[in-house]
Amino acid sequence: MQIKIFAIPASDDGRLQDDLNNFLANHKILEVEQKFFDNEKGGYWSFCIRYITDSTKKYLPAQQSFSGKTKPNYKDILSEQEYKSFLLLKEVRIEISKEDGVLPYNIFTDAELVEIIRLPEKNENSISKINGIGEKRAVKYWKRVVDKSMEIENRKTETEKNTDEKKETEK
């Protein structure tokens, strides 16, 4: 994940806004934070943009969250297989958060889940190197994430098998 900062004076003639809009249209955006500042030289907007560097896909429309931050639509950004993995990890994260009595994003954020999915080698060491996770959270959660993922996949497989058996007996 990369970060880009834009500072646009309130008196901008539109050129800097065009630069910002062009950047947003040509990158896969994970999050946008914006804040207005006022100083002796006048007011300006500051935009902190977190984005993924894979330039093969265009940025797709994002959703506004309750906090006012822009959230990406991961279904549009991720491949079909990546999105299935993302949904599974979100389900795992929710189960662990209920067990531990913490908010799901305290385990891993959506952006961190995407980074995990895209790692070529998924293990505690590689997970700990993702910006924002660190060794402590990797040690605390990674084994549980793997175990819960297998548990959920097994439950889904059993449900599918039972559904198929029901269909066979109904014929």
Query: In 10 A of CB 72, how many CB atoms?
Result: 24
- Tens digit of each residue's pLDDT (9 = 90 or more) over 139-150: 899 888 888 888
Q: Which helix (H) or strand (E) holds 155?
A: helix 134-170
- Tens digit of each residue's pLDDT (9 = 90 or more) over 15-25: 889 888 888 88
- Tens digit of each residue's pLDDT (9 = 90 or more) over 27-56: 788 888 999 999 888 899 999 998 876 543
Give the pLDDT mean for 143-163: 79
For 7, 19, 32, 42, 68, the CA distances from 15, given in Å and listed in that order, are 12, 6, 19, 18, 25
| pLDDT recorded at residue 160 | 73
Asked if pLDDT for residue 75 goes beyond 70, the answer is yes
Residue ranges of domains in the chain: 1-73, 78-171
Q: Which has the higher per-residue pLDDT, 94 or 152?
A: 94
> b/e per residue, 14-51, with b = 16+ CB within 10 A?
eeeeeebeebbeebbbbbbeeeeeeeeeeebbebebbb
| pLDDT recorded at residue 54 | 53
Give the pLDDT mean for 83-100: 90
Question: What CATH class does 78-171 carry?
Answer: mainly alpha
User: pLDDT band at residue 169, thresholds of 50, 70 and 90?
Assistant: confident
